[in-house]
Structure 1
Amino acid sequence: MRHTTPLLITCSLLLTACGGSSGPAQPAQPSLPPAASSGEVNGSRLVAQDTYQFSFTPKSGETVTGTAQIDSASVRNLSAGQANVRVCGNVKAGGDLTAALALDSTGSMSWNDPDDRRRQAGHAFAKRMRKEDMGAVLSFDATTGPSAGLRAAHLWQDFTGNQGLMTAAVNHATFVGGNTPLYDAILDVSDLLKATGKTNTRILILTDGEDNASTSTVDDVVRTANANGTPVYIVGLDVTGEVDFTVSQDITSRTGGFFQQTNDPDELTAMFGRLFNSAEAEGCLELQFTQKPAPGTVVTGELVVRLKDNGKADSTVVSPFTVTVR
Structure 2
Amino acid sequence: MTYLHKTALALTTALLTLASCGPDVPNVILPTIPAATVLQINGTRVLNATSIQFGVTALNGTTVVGTGQITNPAVAFTTPGVTGSVSVCGQITAQNVVTAAVTLDATGSMSSTDPAENRKLAAKAFVDRLTGDSQAAVLSFEASSTPTAGLLASRLQQAMTGDKALLNMAIDNATYASGSTNFYDAVIDAVKIAKDSGRSNPIVLALTDGEDNSSNNTATEAIAYAKTNNVPVYAVGLDATNTINFSEMERIASETGGLFRSNISSGDLNDYFSKLYNAFTAQGCVQLNLATAPATGSTIEGTLTLDITDTGKAAATLNVPFSYTAR
Q: Return the alpha-carbon distance in structure 1 between the equivalents of residues 31 and 132 of structure 2.
A: 34
Q: CA deviation at 1:95?
A: 3.0
Corresponding residue for residue 176 of structure 2? 175
Distance (Å, rounded) in 2 between the aligned partners of 1:181 and 1:292: 31
2:217 maps to amino acid: S
Quote how far apart the aligned CAs of 1:110 are: 1.1
Tell me the equivalent position of 1:12: none
Q: Which residue of 1 aligns with 2:199?
A: 198
Matches of 1:112 and 1:182, distance apart in 2:
16
Contact 1:36 1:68 in 2 (8 A): no
Amino acid at match of 2:311: N
Quick one: distance in 2 between partners of 1:77 and 1:93?
30
Cα distance in 1 for partners of 2:30, 2:300 equals 42
Match of 2:154 in 1: 153
Could you tell me which residue of structure 2 aligns to residue 33 of structure 1?
Answer: 33
The answer (yes or no) to whether the contact 2:49–2:293 under 8 Å persists in 1 is: no
Q: Structure 1 residues 93-102 or 229-238, which shifts more?
A: 93-102
Give runs of aligned pairs for residues 105-120 of structure 1, distance below 5 A: 105-120=106-121
The one-letter amino acid of 1:171's match is D
SS of structure 2 residue aligned to 1:277: helix
**1:13-92 pair list within 5 angstroms:** 29=29, 31-80=31-80, 81-92=82-93
Deviations 1:3-54 (A, max 9, x none): xxxxxxxxxxxxxxxxxxxxxxx98947421111111110001101111001
Q: Aligned residue pairs: how many?
A: 307
Q: CA deviation at 1:79?
A: 2.4
- Residue 195 of structure 1 deviates from its aligned partner by 1.1
Q: Which amino acid aligns with 1:56?
A: V
Cα-to-partner distance string for 1:141-166 (whole Å, 9 max, x where unaligned) = 01122111111110111111112221
* In 2, Cα distance between equivalents of 1:208 and 1:185: 13
Cα 1:95–1:293 shift into 2, 3 Å: same
Name the TM-score, length of structure 1 as normaliser: 0.89
Query: Any residues of structure 2 matched to 1:287-326 within 5 Å, and which?
Result: 287-326=288-327
Cα distance in 2 for residues equivalent to 1:221 and 1:99: 17
1:45·1:53 contact (CA, 8 Å) conserved in 2?
Answer: yes
Which amino acid in the other structure matches residue 43 of structure 2? G
Unaligned stretches of 5+ in structure 2?
1-25
CA contact (8 A) 2:37 2:316 kept: yes
Is the aligned partner of 1:217 residue 2:218?
A: yes
Q: Contact 1:94 / 1:200 at 8 angstroms: preserved in 2?
A: no
Contact kept, 8 Å, 1:53 with 1:285, in 2: the verdict is yes
**Residue of structure 1 equivalent to 2:256:** 255
| Preserved contact between residue 58 and residue 68 of structure 1 (Cα < 8 Å) | no
The 1:107–1:299 alpha-carbon spacing in structure 2 relative to 1, beyond 3 Å, is same
SS in 1 for 2:324: strand
Q: Aligned pair 1:132/2:133, yes or no?
A: yes
Rounded to whole Å, the distance in 2 between the matches of 1:162 and 1:151 is: 26
State the one-letter code of the partner of 2:60.
S
Q: In 2, are the aligned partners of 1:139 and 1:155 still within 8 Å (CA)?
A: yes
SS at 1:172's partner residue?
helix
Matches of 1:85 and 1:279 in 2, distance apart? 23
CA contact (8 A) 2:46 2:254 kept: yes
2:77·2:83 contact (CA, 8 Å) conserved in 1? no
- 5+ unaligned residues in a row in structure 1: which ranges? 1-25
SS at match of 2:184: helix
